[in-house]
Chain A
């Protein structure tokens, strides 16, 4: 647990969450959501939860982004908000 590292990642987390929810292009939103997942993974590794960090790296930053992109490409990429 390193407090400075903690604070930096948490600030980036909030920024990534806000960006991924405010972009109008859904593909960009999915990519920023992948970044969000990777930041969460870093935060978990920093808290000592290595197994959870490993799972998040494969699932949150990898598979869930791919699934969202697959759906977006099969539906519509533009969003009104």
Chain B
């Protein structure tokens, strides 16, 4: 009760201050706001440069993909590393930090854990339907990764969808089926390979004496017409690395959370 009174007071004060501060914001949807057009008399917003020059620089019509993987390549590289680290942290928490001498090691709530074990035949309709759906989901996910240059999509979205397709196998059949297709050894390996692909593609221009993540230097290596197409292909390589890592980590998080780190039984 004390916490609720304190929370109400804190929320009321913070909310009032924020509601007042928000009235000083530029109007919603204003194309001339500082974020969209830059300060009057000062330097223009960086977004204007991106909108006007992205296609000239990279031949990628989807501005979000181009900025994500090329202009802001460092940012995305370490965001991917954060995802990888989060996956490893879950391993550490659920596997390594197991306190066997805990005061009470309760089994899950019997009402909540009223679920079927591996090899249940009652869910045959769901199982068969999902078995048909999974390849379609995966093909669509590959399309999303590969077509991210021209339409919404890219490594993050495609990677999450690929991971979700394995989660679908685990939910409709059993986790054992999913792990038979995508074992623990292979998803850890694939997550590391994804980051290595990203860092490798980003590192290659250094060999040619250019800056980190400056994919234009790969022109000779890829045999493209100009530096623009080399940048476009470099972006694709980076997206592929992101997709591998995100796919593996999403499935790893689910597999560990649903079995409390034992990888046996499952939902």
Contact = CB atoms under 8 A, between A and B. Distances in A.
Contacts, number: 66
Pick the most buried of A50, A51, A67: most chain B CB atoms within 10 A of its CB. Answer: A51
Nearest to B260: A74
Interface residues of A, number: 23
B237 to A, nearest CB: 19
A62 B161 CA distance: 9
Contacts of A4: none
Interface string B106-122: 00110111010000000
B73 interface: no
Contacts of B257: 67, 70-71, 74
A75 B253 contact: no
A55 B253 CA distance: 18
A59 B164 CA distance: 9
A62 B109 contact: no
B37 interface: no
Interface stretch (B17-25, B148-156, B190-198): B148-156
B160 A62 contact: yes
A58 B167 contact: no
Nearest to A27: B112
B267 interface: yes
Contacts of B250: 63
Contacts of A71: 257
Contacts of A72: 112
Contacts of B267: 69-70, 73
Given A59-B160, A63-B250, A71-B257, A54 B112 contact: no
24 contacts: A27-B112, A50-B152, A51-B64, A51-B65, A51-B154, A54-B144, A54-B152, A54-B157, A58-B157, A58-B161, A63-B163, A63-B164, A63-B167, A63-B250, A63-B254, A66-B167, A66-B171, A66-B254, A69-B267, A71-B257, A73-B113, A74-B113, A75-B112, A77-B112
Interface of A: 1, 27, 50-51, 53-55, 58-59, 62-63, 66-67, 69-78
